[in-house]
Amino acid sequence: MRRPRCNTQPDFAPPVPQRAVAAPDDGSVIDALRRGDDTAFARLVDRYGASLRRVARLYVSNRAVADEIVQDTWLSVIQGISAFECRSSLKTWIFHILINRAKTRAAREGRTVPMAGLDDPVRAAAPVAPDRFQPGERPAELGRWTPPEPGLEASPERRLLAREARAHLQKAIEALPEHQRLVLILRDVEGCSTKEVGNVLGFREINTRVLLHRAHAKVRMALRPYLDGA
Q: Is 56 helix (H, G, I), strand (E, B) or coil?
A: helix
pLDDT band at 161 (very low <50, low <70, confident <90, very high): low
Q: What percent of the chain has pLDDT over 70?
A: 65
pLDDT for the residue 60: 86
CATH 1.10.10.10 residue window(s) in the chain: 121-229
Q: pTM for this one? A: 0.61
CATH number of 121-229: 1.10.10.10
User: What gap in Å lies between CA 70 and CA 76, rounded to an integer?
Assistant: 10
Find, among 33, 58, 30, the residue nearest to 201 by Cα.
58
CA angle 152, 156, 162 (to 5 degrees): 50
Q: What percent of the chain has pLDDT over 90?
A: 31
pLDDT for the residue 13: 40
State mean pLDDT over 40-67. Answer: 91
pLDDT for the residue 25: 75
Average predicted confidence (pLDDT) for the chain: 74
pLDDT band at 54 (very low <50, low <70, confident <90, very high): confident
User: What gap in Å lies between CA 186 and CA 95, rounded to an integer?
Assistant: 10
User: What gap in Å lies between CA 92 and CA 175, rounded to an integer?
Assistant: 26
pLDDT for the residue 209: 94
Q: Tell me: pLDDT of 61 over 90.
A: no
pLDDT for the residue 31: 92
Q: What is the pLDDT of residues 111-147, one digit of tens each?
A: 644 433 333 333 333 333 434 434 433 333 334 444 4
CATH 1.10.1740.10 residue window(s) in the chain: 26-108
Does the domain at 26-108 match CATH 1.10.1740.10? Answer given as yes
